[in-house]
C-alpha cells in the first residue's frame, strides 16, 4: 500500500492564481481531511469528508474548496491564492470513527 499520497511536494504561486492540491489514499478509508500547519500554531483543520459525496468545513475553510467524488481522492482547491495561504498542507485519512489518522507527506505552498 502506498498509504496517503500528496502532489505536488512544493508549489510557488502568485497572488490571485488558483491551483489544486491532490490527495489520494489506497486504504479504502471513509474519512479524509485537509490540515494546514503554520509555525507555532499546530495543525488546523480546513475541510473534511466522511465519505464520497459528503464534505464539511473545519476550523479554517475560507479560501478553499473541496469535493469528494470517489473514496480514494480528496483534492483541495485554492480559488484565488493569497499570501496568508502560505503554509504546509497535509492530507489525512481514517478508517472508523475513533481510529488514528494516517497523514500524507505534505505540500509546501508559497504564495508571493
Partner 1 sequence: EDQVTQSPEALRLQEGESSSLNCSYTVSGLRGLFWYRQDPGKGPEFLFTLYSAGEEKEKERLKATLTKKESFLHITAPKPEDSATYLCAVQTDSWGKLQFGAGTQVVVTP
Is there binding between residue 1 and partner 1 (CB under 8 A)?
Answer: no
Near partner 1 by CB under 8 A: residue from 25, 33, 55, 85: 33
How many other CB atoms sit within 10 Å of the CB of residue 51? 12
Residue 83 phi, psi dihedral angles, 5° rounding: -55, -30
**Which of these segments, 16-24, 27-35, 64-72, 79-87, binds partner 1 (CB under 8 A)?**
27-35
Is there binding between residue 12 and partner 1 (CB under 8 A)?
Answer: no
- Residue list 53-92, contact with partner 1 (CB under 8 A): 58-59, 90, 92
Residues that bind partner 1 (CB under 8 A): 4, 31, 33, 35, 40-45, 48, 50, 58-59, 90, 92, 94, 97-106
Amino acid at each position: 500500500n502506498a498509504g496517503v499520497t500528496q502532489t505536488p511536494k512544493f508549489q510557488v504561486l502568485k497572488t490571485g492564481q488558483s491551483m489544486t492540491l491532490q490527495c489520494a489514499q489506497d486504504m479504502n478509508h471513509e474519512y479524509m481531511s485537509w490540515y494546514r500547519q503554520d509555525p507555532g500554531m499546530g495543525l488546523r483543520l480546513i475541510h473534511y469528508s466522511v465519505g464520497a459525496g459528503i464534505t464539511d468545513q473545519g476550523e479554517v475553510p475560507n479560501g478553499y474548496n473541496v469535493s469528494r467524488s470517489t473514496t480514494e481522492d480528496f483534492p483541495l482547491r485554492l480559488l484565488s491564492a493569497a499570501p496568508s495561504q502560505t503554509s504546509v498542507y497535509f492530507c489525512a485519512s481514517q478508517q472508523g470513527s475513533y481510529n488514528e489518522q494516517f497523514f500524507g507527506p505534505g505540500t509546501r505552498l508559497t504564495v508571493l
